[in-house]
Amino acid sequence: MLDRMFLHGVEVRGRHGVFDFERRAGQLFVIDVDWWIDTGAAVASDRLEETLCYKQLYDRVCEVVGGQPWALIETLADRLIAALFARFPQVATLQVTVHKPEAPIGGSFADVGITRLRHRG
């Protein structure tokens, strides 16, 4: 049995984009992460060690988004998934959404982003 946990609205400055000015100045990215794990042992023991610490997940998201720049948000989402699967082996499935609210579109818009859903294996 798997349960869905989530951390939404993580705001991080990054230097991702296809234009030089995006990489130079950086911009805000908003990240949502949903993960599916078996929480049975954590429920039975009521111990943090039996589940995924969302503070550790938050820190890893910030490291990746604030780190190496990528041209595409598709690539950023993929690198986030790879980094989170590597750090948290108890996670069976991950869904990562990268929002780019300051995308250089040149007009008014509510949101732009990508959601990637991946299963371990």
Q: Which entry of 25, 90, 100, 104 is annotated as an active-site residue?
A: 100
Task: Measure the CA–CA gap between 60 and 66, rounded to whole angstroms.
Answer: 10
Is residue 55 part of the annotated active site? The answer reads no
Please provide the distance, in angstroms rounded to a whole number, between the alpha carbons at the two ends of the chain: 17
Half-sphere exposure of residue 41: CA atoms within 13 angstroms, side-chain side: 8
Running DSSP on this structure, what letter comes out for residue 17? S
CA distances from 71 to 8, 76, 102 (A): 23, 8, 15
Angle of CA points 33, 17, 31, to nearest 5°: 15
Which residues are known catalytic residues?
A: 100
